[in-house]
Amino acid sequence: MVVCQCVTPSIFNEPPYNQFPQRRNSDFLQSALPPRPPFTLLQPPAPEQRQDPITKVALVDGRTNVKLINDTNTKITYQVIGDTPPRILSGKSNVNLRGLNTPITLTFQREDGGFLMVTPITTSQTGNLEVKLQATTDISQDRSAMRIQDNGSVFLN
């Protein structure tokens, strides 16, 4: 004789489905399975909780200007997430991004797939940040994103 150790979905224990007596193996299941821990939502720590800012820019009414300087010999695709579509910055050129509302996330990628060293430099002009984009062969220096927080803190990733 074979005894079925089947699990019945919980909806069958609720009206109107529970009108008929059912065989339950709940005692068996409860003793065989470890208790389930309570569900918790995991949230990654914010950048400022993981690392110190690279630099800090003085904002003007929550806005900043960013000058991207491409010191490589290749095109770089950049994007201000939520503000601009992906754009191309030619090698040995620069572009000024004006009046960006913080927080800002900028992404960068070399067209040839090479590593990119990103160096933010504060300027003497309030609200301005220069960002040098240079080729590197050191993977530990490779960066693909920059974040400027509401307080002007600058983080690289």
> Structural domain boundaries of the chain?
51-156
The contacts of residue 107 (CB under 8 Å, 6+ apart) are: 78, 79, 81, 144, 145
Q: How confident is the model at residue 37 (pLDDT cuts 50, 70, 90)?
A: low
With residues binned 3-state (H G I as helix, E B as strand, rest as coil), the percentages for the chain, rounded to 5, are 15, 40, 50
- Pair 59, 66: CB distance under 8 Å: no
C-alpha 106/C-alpha 83 separation (Å) is 10
| pTM score, whole prediction | 0.69
Domain spanning 51-156: which CATH class is it, in words? mainly beta
pLDDT in tens, 108-120: 999 999 999 999 9
Q: What angle do CA 108, 110, 116 make, to 5 degrees?
A: 70
Asked if the model's pLDDT at residue 1 lies above 90, the reply is no
- Pair 67, 125: CB distance under 8 Å: no
